Amino acid sequence: MEDPATLEALRLQLAPAIADAAVFDGWSKEAVLQAADMTGVDRELAAFAFRDGPMAMITAWVHHDDAQMAQAEPAETLKTLSIRERIRRLVMARLDAVAGREEALSRALAIMALPQNLAASAKLGWRSADAMWRLAGDTATDYNHYTKRAILAGIYAATLNVFARDKSENKAETRAFLDRRIEGIIRFEKTKAQFIRKPEERFSMTRLLGRIRYPAR
């Protein structure tokens, strides 16, 4: 069972049950044992799989929910939608995957914010953002690849924090917050496009003044 692929599959299997137990017991050894009992997995095996502690449990939960998102919103169903709507639906699918476990989410976010966990947390956020952009059809390989993911990871992290505290009906506050942030992404992308067009296509005050002074004949 020390095969990494087999252990990863076990972690993914246990992750949602651990999240359920974490509502009451936090991201702890007790939560792992309860998850093992709920899923019929050997307790010692479950403890071994999560021997690295809370961040290993949270990482498995994030990976599980990324997979849930991909299953709920496969790339082929998004093709006919605008980029704005693709990203919105993907983020909401990601949030739907943690719905009902807000207390576990709040505890997870507190652990992820600890100084010793910031690097691992940033990596998880990047991974989720990358999964979203790939499902949305993004094929950028230049610096756009990195800026898109960095911006979306930041927006997703902020939205998660709102979601964890949101008591409004049908998470209306979260949805409104997300829509505003996505609109910001779209505006940014449109503005950025003005600066990365071919030199001959960019606006040039010098060229404009030259045309005024020497109009084409």
pLDDT cut 70: percent of the chain above it: 84
Look at 41-45, 140-144, 207-211 and tell me which has the smallest mean pLDDT: 207-211
pLDDT digits (tens, 9 = 90+) for 113-125: 999 999 999 999 9
Q: Identify the pLDDT of residue 1.
A: 46
Task: Supply the mean pLDDT for the chain.
Answer: 88
Above 90 in pLDDT, residue 198?
A: no
Q: Which tokens belong to 29?
A: 């050894």
199 pLDDT tier (thresholds 50, 70, 90): low
Above 70 in pLDDT, residue 141?
A: yes
Look at 13-22, 159-168, 176-185 and tell me which has the smallest mean pLDDT: 176-185
Q: Where are the domains of the chain?
A: 1-51, 54-210
Q: Which tokens belong to 98?
A: 């943690």
140 pLDDT tier (thresholds 50, 70, 90): confident
Q: Cα separation of 155 and 185, whole Å?
A: 9
Q: Give the mean model confidence (pLDDT) for residues 137-166.
A: 91
Its CATH architecture, for the domain 54-210, is Orthogonal Bundle (1.10)
Cβ-based neighbour number of residue 42 at 10 Å: 11
Above 50 in pLDDT, residue 108?
A: yes
Q: Identify the pLDDT of residue 158.
A: 94
What is the three-state SS of the chain? CCCHHHHHHHHHHHHHHHHHHHHHHCCCHHHHHHHHHHHCCCHHHHHHHCCCCHHHHHHHHHHHHHHHHHHHCCHHHHCCCCHHHHHHHHHHHHHHCCCCCHHHHHHHHHHHCCHHHHHHHHHHHHHHHHHHHHHCCCCCCCHHHHHHHHHHHHHHHHHHHHHHHCCCHHHHHHHHHHHHHHHHHHHHHHHHHHHHCCHHHCCCHHHHHHHHHCCCC
Q: Cα separation of 159 and 140, whole Å?
A: 24
Query: Which carries the bigger pLDDT value, residue 205 or residue 83?
Result: 83
Q: Which residue has the tokens 């940033």?
A: 122
Above 70 in pLDDT, residue 174?
A: yes
